[in-house]
Structure 1
Amino acid sequence: MRILTLAAALLLAGCAALAPVPETAGIDAVLIGEQHDAEAHGRIQERWVSTLAKRGQLGAVALEMAEQGTSTAGLPATASDEQVREALKWNKGTGWPWERYGPAIMAAVRAGVPVVGGNLSREQLREAMKDSTLDVLLPGPALKAQQQAIRRGHCDMLPENQVQPMTRVQIARDISMARAISSSAAPGKTVVLLAGSGHVLPDLGVPQHLPRTLVARSVLLPSQETGKDYCEEFRKQQEHRQQRKQAAR
């Protein structure tokens, strides 16, 4: 697989919402990495999808936010939001805010372009935690970097015995999204993946699991300050889980 990484500073110079969507001729897949709670990112994603659709270059939209096997392919371009949500099983408690991702998804549907899920179900995620075959799918340095990213992503508060299972989950999800992209790829078209920034990193994420013949570009959207203390929120979540465990004894 050939990975072309476009620096966010180059692509999104100045006002990110107004930066032009570059030409994607010859690019099989564009992997857009977002910050899940950055409001501006939803607008950028919609603009990418809408622009490529208008150019006739959009082949499909793959989502971290929906499970593999779900698709809007059977729906008409006039489908309602509710029909699209049902097709993607968005109504089954996904936790992803529709108001954030709906505009990009509906732009693809209105253009007659399929939107497909790329994530794993909760049961599959639990199975991945125990799957030791996932430990050998990344080169040694990349695996260690992925493990370190898991630690940092949990503010170095994750018990060490959970690092390996959580790393397996990350890898399994990357593989699932890579399969969604590969199965949707078509000559002369570009598949757009919408996922968290960690999933689109060329050395660690989805690009590692794409076919070598597929030309992909990873685009990291710039981080946005939200005023949240993520580590404090995670600490409180951990304390709450511990309290529930103790109460259940």
Structure 2
Amino acid sequence: MLSRAPTAIVGEEHTNADHHAIELWLLQNMVKKRPQGSVLLEMLTPDQQPAVDRVKQALHDGAAMREPRIQEALRWNAGWPWTLYGALLMTALKADYPLLAANITRERIGEIYQNPVFPGG
């Protein structure tokens, strides 16, 4: 059973609304089955983490923030359509567990392409 797993990695076809609905359902319901450690999202990069932490704290403290303001505060990448990712992100922002960036910046990707490091062998 998924709720017994210590780690759950969930992915989606980025344009499939049904996949996003399943992800949201999991996020809303796994917490009912077991404590959550943290949620990591591919849509967030490390440079956004301070803003994520600020928005999360503000929402926890009772601040009323509309979604367009949250998108602006997070410098949300429009390449991840809010219509597909917004509900998932808002749920994670309002939850008691940490929300962490799981992607890397475009600059870091460029550095890796310029200077790739391959495993020995």
TM-score bin (small chain): 0.7 to 0.9
Q: What's the offset of the Cα at 1:115?
A: 1.9
Partner of 1:44: 22
The Cα shift of 1:73 comes to: 2.9
Structure with the bigger percentage of helix: 2
Q: For the residues of structure 2 that align with 1:112 and 1:85, how far apart are their CA atoms?
A: 20
1:122 to 106, 111, 115: 106
Cα distance in 2, alignment partners of residues 103 and 52 from structure 1: 16
Structure 2 letter corresponding to 1:39: A
Match of 2:46 in 1: 68
Return 5+ residue gaps in structure 2 as ranges. none
Would the aligned equivalents of 1:109 and 1:115 in 2 still touch at CA under 8 Å?
A: yes
Q: How many pairs does the alignment contain?
A: 113
Which blocks of at least 5 consecutive residues in structure 1 are unaligned? 1-20, 141-249
Distance in 1 (CA, whole Å) between partners of 2:37 and 2:53 is 12
Contact 2:46 2:101 in 1 (8 A): yes
1:42 Cα deviation after fit: 0.5
CA spacing shift, 1:123–1:69, aligned 2, 3 Å: closer
- Percent identity for Structure 1 against Structure 2: 27
> Residues 85, 56 of structure 1: CA spacing in aligned structure 2 closer, same or farther, 3 A cutoff?
farther
CA distance in 2, matches of 1:66, 1:34: 15
SS in 1 for 2:87: helix
Match of 1:107 in 2: 91
Q: What is the distance in 2 between the residues matched to 1:87 and 1:30?
A: 28
Q: Which residue of 2 aligns with 1:31?
A: 9
More strand by share: 1
RMSD across aligned positions (CA): 2.5
Paired residue for 2:82? 98
Contact preservation (8 Å) 1:64, 1:117:
yes
Cα deviation, 1:137-192, whole Å, max 9, x if unaligned, reads 7xx7xxxxxxxxxxxxxxxxxxxxxxxxxxxxxxxxxxxxxxxxxxxxxxxxxxxx
TM-score, normalised on structure 1? 0.40
Q: Which amino acid aligns with 2:53?
A: A
Distance (Å, rounded) in 1 between the aligned partners of 2:119 and 2:101: 25
- Report the TM-score, using the length of structure 2 for normalisation: 0.74
Letter in 2 for 1:31: I
Which has the larger Rg? Answer: 1
1:22 is aligned with what amino acid?
L
Shift of 1:47: 0.7
